[in-house]
Amino acid sequence: MTQLTATFTSTLAKLKEEGRFRALSPAAGIDFSSNDYLGFKSHPALRQTAIAAFEADLETGAGGSRLLRGNHPAHEKLEQEAAAFFGTETALFFANGFLANHALMSALPAPHDIILFDALIHASLRDGIQANPAKHIRIMHNDLNAYEDALSKNKNCWVVVESIYSMDGDLAPLHDLLKLCKKYNAYLIVDEAHATGIFGDKGKGLTHGLQCEHLITVHTCGKALGVAGGLVCAPDIIIQTLINKARSFIYSTAPMPIQAVLVSKALELCAAADQQRARLFELCDLARQHFSSSPSPIIPVILGDEQKALQAAATLQAKGFDIRAIRPPTVPQGSSRLRITLNATLRNEDVVALANALQEIA
Ligand SMILES: Cc1ncc(COP(=O)(O)O)c(C=O)c1O
């Protein structure tokens, strides 16, 4: 065994010992774990749109970076539609939400700026912050006093939050944060990944209708929208800055044109999906009658210990439910959990059966 192989072997062995080893497994069982909140990933209209686009000779690849040969009319069409839909000046499309978040955090704050980020923000925002030399301050989850304290002591601040937290399902106090950002002239970055398509008028997200020239939002397209991608919505000056400074935008082949075509269609479907949203909220209510106290379709069942979470997930999987254990470093130490999600295609019986199964393993 080479030295390198030995290092990998012992790293993996340690992860196994700590209950943190990750392995791929196929999707099986009733879907209580995807982010396909509206059931769009198998929407016939999206499939038909793809077939029609390729039959009309759409190329598969973009062929280059957006700044070179890869800028396709489908990208620009989507960006105009997204800006109109989400009510922002301009939008910029990335291949996924991770890249969009990384671009924002690594390219926008200047080295002398201060980034105030919620302790529970997504890894993509964290990694972007790490790539930026600006000073950063971790704020206790949703602690408005801590934000105000930091904002009052520092100039040129960026506040970074998620509108719905991906592992906890709770909401950021957006109205109060926006007030603070206006008071202290700070930028507010809101990752709407788990709100897009679900919350706000026509699924436009929880920031929809909030007025502020310092507000930047990210709408991911691989969750409720059922496709893939990340749309940054912001004033034009911010989008121009990203086009000129974001390395993940500049030095990467543009998203496949079909992705933009499908996200355009998904936005159209999203605007007309009040019924699916109503059904999803009905299921959220049903779950709240039995086992949920979450305000969203993301329901954490915190078990603490990695092994407990793994065992509980395995038991539920054996009963036919697709539920996964989430462990550190994705969530804080000691807060390993089951992350249960609801989607509009579930039946009432599925939720009740899960409630019974949870009761049994409690
Ligand atoms: C809150 C949040 N932001 C961003 C992302 C990344 O988005 P994408 O899956 O499109 O890369 C995720 C995905 O897990 C997420 O949960």
Q: What is the pLDDT of residues 266-281, one digit of tens each?
A: 999 999 999 999 999 9
Which residue in 162, 168, 192, 322 is the catalytic one? 162
pLDDT grade, residue 19 (50/70/90)? Answer: confident
- Answer yes or no: pTM beyond 0.85: yes
Which residue in 194, 204, 208, 265 is the catalytic one? 194
Give the per-residue pLDDT at 249.
Answer: 97
Fold matches, 28-43+273-361 and 58-271:
no
Three-state DSSP at 285 gives helix
Atom of ligand 1 nearest to the CA of 165: 1
Largest CA distance in the chain: 60
Atom of ligand 1 nearest to the CA of 221: 10
User: Which residue of 34, 37, 94, 98 sits with most ligand 1 atoms within 8 Å of its CB, as the best mutation to test the pocket?
Assistant: 98
Domain ranges across the chain: 28-43+273-361, 58-271
Report the CATH fold assignment for 28-43+273-361: Aspartate Aminotransferase, domain 1 (3.90.1150)
Identify the CA nearest to 42 among candidates 31, 54, 52, 53.
31
Beta strand extents in the chain (DSSP E only): 30-31, 90-94, 114-118, 135-139, 157-162, 187-191, 215-220, 230-234, 298-304, 321-322, 324-326, 336-341
Percentage above 70 pLDDT, the chain: 100
Query: Would residue 182 show up in a list of annotated catalytic residues for this protein?
Result: no
pLDDT grade, residue 2 (50/70/90)? Answer: confident
Whole-Å CA distances, 216 to 72, 149, 187, 332: 24, 22, 8, 27
Q: Is 255 in the pocket of ligand 1 (CB under 6 A)?
A: no
Beta strand extents in 163-280 (DSSP E only): 187-191, 215-220, 230-234
Identify the CA nearest to 93 among candidates 265, 257, 266, 287.
257
Place of tokens 């086009």: 243
Q: Which residues contact 149 (CB under 8 A, 6 or more apart)?
A: none
Are 314 and 10 contacting, i.e. CB atoms less than 8 angstroms apart?
no
Phi and psi torsions of 171, nearest 5°: -105, 150
How many Å lie between the centroid of ligand 1 and the Cα of residue 48? Answer: 26
Between residues 80 and 212, the one the model is more confident about: 80
**Average pLDDT of span 4-27:** 91
Alpha carbon distance 226, 35 (integer Å): 9
Residue nearest atom 8 of ligand 1, based on CA coordinates? 97
How many Å lie between the centroid of ligand 1 and the Cα of residue 194? Answer: 8
CATH of domain 58-271: 3.40.640.10
Give the per-residue pLDDT at 221.
Answer: 98
